[in-house]
Amino acid sequence: MCGICCSVCFSVEHFSQDWKEDLLYNLKRRGPNSSKQLLKSNINYQCLFSGHVLHLRGVLTAQPVEDERGNVLLWNGEVFSGIKVEAEENDTQIMFDYLTSCKNESDILSLFSEVQGPWSFIYYQASSHCLWFGRDFFGRRSLLWHFSNLGKNFCLSSVGAQTSGVANQWQEVPASGIFRIDLKSTAISKSVVLKVYPWKYFSRENVTKECVDSLTQIAANLPTFVSVVANEAKLYLKEPVVPLNMMLPQAPFEIHCSNISSVPPTRETLQVFLTDGHMKEVVQQFINVLSMAVKRRVLCLPRDGSLTPSEVSKTCDRKANVAILFSGGIDSMVIATLADRHIPLDEPIDLLNVAFMTKEKPTLNSFNKKSGKKKNHCEIPSEESSKSVAAAADSPDRQFSVPDRITGRAGLKELQAANPSRVWNFVEINVSLEELQKLRTTQICHLVQPLDTVLDDSIGCAVWFASRGVGWLVTQDEVKSYQSNAKVVLTGIGADEQLAGYSRHRVRFQAHGLEGLNKEIEMELGRISSRNLGRDDRVIGDHGKEARFPFLDENVVSFLNSLPVWEKANLTLPRGIGDKLILRLAAVELGLTASALLPKRAMQFGSRIAKMEKNNEKASDKCERLQVISLENLSIEKEIKM
């Protein structure tokens, strides 16, 4: 994970530094291990490169990296497959070596077509005066652009600035392909031209499927002085996943499951599907490919060397390297179970469970009276701890007993039963209304932007507090404050989109059958970069941590895309079985019990953040709380100690 930024100016007298300090602060939060800047000056333009590194693999490589010919790379990514990166190597240097050896445009596109893993990058090619940049196929890493002063300046950055009047001009770079700007030509012509190299898929029948927003769509939110054009050579990037299988069954779909459609959700109901040899084989294949995706994401990070037996026995003192956004639901339970397979046994795993204070008035109960040690365990262990939380501390369970806390504790018991040798750190993260409002204003709002809906506000804030990892460990023996320092945060995003987990999938199926459901799933995956991933990357990265998405591993998506839809979901069955069917069957095969049957519950409702403020809002409404903060608040923010 890195914070990368490139500011380009075509006119020295118009070089804008209005938000330089602000932007630098935000970038440094993403990359706490190394910061470096590099200025490249030319008679026609100036480029200021700024790199901030979160060190996760190989030798710490400061960014930006530059070679003797003046080429410069800023890389925010992880090469999990496609290009060989040894355990002791750093992928930034590997990618730079490959890029500087590229002889033409086609070589650059071939390189990025091979990389599997999340990435965004900015590459200055000195010989051609060109700036290349873009995001991976799913947009798993944030990259924003900002054009100003009628084309005299533009900026690319992992995260935007929050100075009043500027933040709302940042837009996400579409994950439609790779872009190139000829800086010399732009300076001479006084017009900004973005050339697009789109993603395309070529099937065995040589039928071309182009996955790129129309040029008009890409340019829709850009200033009029910026034009978007296709590259003249009609070059493209090869899509890293196979297209969605749109096949429909020959017989009416309902026949497939008429014998169990009226049965209530039980583990036995799921096991009926596993009596079918083909289905059992498909489920096992899914487990294998998802397990490998998790393995790549939990092993690509530095760990302590081999431990002596006496050190292994002190695992409670070991720090977790991996954390999981954990609700106890099916997605996070399967990820936790598979992570347990691959993370060394002597290493704890942090389960981050967030709850927002409910409006219910506190009352004493016997639990609190018996244990003075436990009575205060839901105060917020930070400088922002609110007085209301402290006052309500006599009844922590009641005020933070939200649905995700209840299922999270139940999920913890399942995991402990499955592997009692593992230290599972269930981190109870409790947030008061006062703390939410303060940190939204000073810290979170600019991370969510340029997205601006009520839903973005709820999810962005919930993910920010969860990934911060400041909470409490509650065990049989004690309650203690805890700060998760795990640099890698696993999240289950991508499961609902691919496996019909949302209620809108069921609505579409009921109205338009399997054909409509296929189209809904295709749309969900196509828009996940703009709806979710850039925002979540900015929010999690703000803590100097890296978000990793096992369900969006290229091999996982290709496997699921290859299956007919009825092998992934069966929406003739009730919630808790039919939605995400293949994942529920995988959970049963992995030995999970109650969690395999939990219906989908959105994070904003499970954590109860959606109930804290205005209850009459629609998720799609523009959120008035996501306002650009004033310059006066900026000084307050920088005094906050996280």
Catalytic machinery residues: 2
Question: In this structure, which amino acid lies at residue 460?
Answer: G
Name the H helices within 300-402: 309-312, 330-342, 366-370, 387-391, 396-400
Give Dmax (Cα) for the chain: 77
* Termini Cα distance of the chain: 19
3-class SS at 123? strand
Residue 77 has φ and ψ, to the nearest 5°, of -165, 175
CA distance 626 to 494: 25
Number of alpha helices (DSSP H) and beta strands (DSSP E) in the chain = 24, 22
Instruction: Provide the 3-class DSSP secondary structure of residue 636.
Output: helix
For 606, residues 6+ apart whose C-beta sits below 8 A from its C-beta are 327, 329, 402, 403, 404, 407
Residues in CB range of 149: below 8 A, 6 or more apart:
11, 14, 16
Cite the beta strand spans of 97-245 per DSSP E: 119-125, 130-135, 144-148, 153-157, 171-172, 177-182, 192-202, 208-211, 226-230, 237-238
Among residues 398, 283, 402, 419, which one has the least CA distance to residue 343?
419
- β-partners of residue 521 are none
**247 φ/ψ angles, rounded to the nearest 5 degrees:** -60, 145
The residues near 79 (Cβ < 8 Å, ≥ 6 apart) are 85, 91, 94, 95, 115, 116, 117, 119
52 — phi, psi (to 5°)?
A: -140, 115
Cβ–Cβ < 8 Å for 603, 426: no
Q: Is 235 helix (H, G, I), strand (E, B) or coil?
A: coil
Instruction: Quickly count: other Cβ atoms within 10 Å of residue 95's Cβ.
Output: 23
